[in-house]
Amino acid sequence: MLTAADVSRFHKNGFVVAEGLADGEVCDELQALAVNHLQQNLAPVEYEVDLQYPGSPVHPEALGGMTVRRLLQACSRDLAFRKWAAHASVKACLQQLFELEQIGLSQCHHNCIMTKQPGFSSVTLWHQDNRYWAFDQDNLISVWLALDEENHKNGCLRVIPGSHRLALDPGRFDASLFLRADLAENKALIKRAERVELKAGDILFFHSKLFHAAGRNLSDQIKFSVVFTYHDFNNHPIAATRSAQFPSINI
């Protein structure tokens, strides 16, 4: 479980890291499954070319055009992923952070294995996940499990501490709801950013309103991470939106 200081740090900064929360056996099993599914190109998947983020291939026939970005619907891929998503230690930490008992696991958001690959991984610009999520309350938490080392070279996450508590004017975002890099006030905000470097088994808990970004993978190894998103089970997705496409799981 998290300490009181961890919980306080999460509420202040919008994120907290629990070192070594997943043991090596869990990481090895999930990574072996991820490698196997990636080699098979096992659907459903998201390709880098689908998003057209900076650095991604221009079209599917271009060099690297079939580079997978994410293996989607992790809970449905293998029981091992679903067991991890509902693991007692994950649930206990979330109960502390939400300060409630009933936790819902979204099958609509994240619920994936990130497969950041050398050469053709793209840059993820500064954003909040809530920009395309639709719930009664903007209060969700994502759980990011590093299956191997995550650092600056292979494109680890960067976060802006405390940014989950900000209310920014619409003009500070571009048409895709990324922070506009041309504005002085956004440049000042981004200067506060920190890298979140992780070891295998480390867990990053981060709020859905936290601004985060990530660079390209400049190493020679694929970086695997498993990511799930959770909410108060009584915080309902809005009908007829992407967030309501699949039912949440009560863990």
Rounded Cα–Cα distance for residues 20 and 201 (Å): 5
H or E element in which residue 206 lies: strand 203-207
Structural domain tally of the chain? Answer: 1
The pLDDT profile of the chain, 251 residues, written as one tens digit per residue, is 899 999 999 999 999 999 999 999 999 999 999 999 999 999 999 999 998 888 888 888 888 899 999 999 999 999 999 999 999 999 999 999 999 999 999 999 999 999 999 988 999 999 999 999 999 999 999 999 999 999 999 999 999 999 999 999 999 999 999 999 999 999 999 999 999 999 999 999 999 999 999 999 999 999 999 999 999 999 999 999 999 999 999 99
H helices present in 86-183, as ranges: 88-98
Token pair of 63, please? 């060099």
| CATH code, 125 | 2.60.120.620
Q: Which residue has the tokens 């679903």?
A: 82
Taking CA atoms, 78 is separated from 72, 110, 206, in Å, by: 12, 16, 25
Rounded Cα–Cα distance for residues 145 and 122 (Å): 20
Rounded Cα–Cα distance for residues 1 and 89 (Å): 7
pLDDT for residue 1 = 87
> pTM for the full model?
0.96
Provide the residue range defining the domain that includes 113: 4-250
Rounded Cα–Cα distance for residues 201 and 199 (Å): 6
* Nearest by Cα to 41 from 68, 14, 61: 68
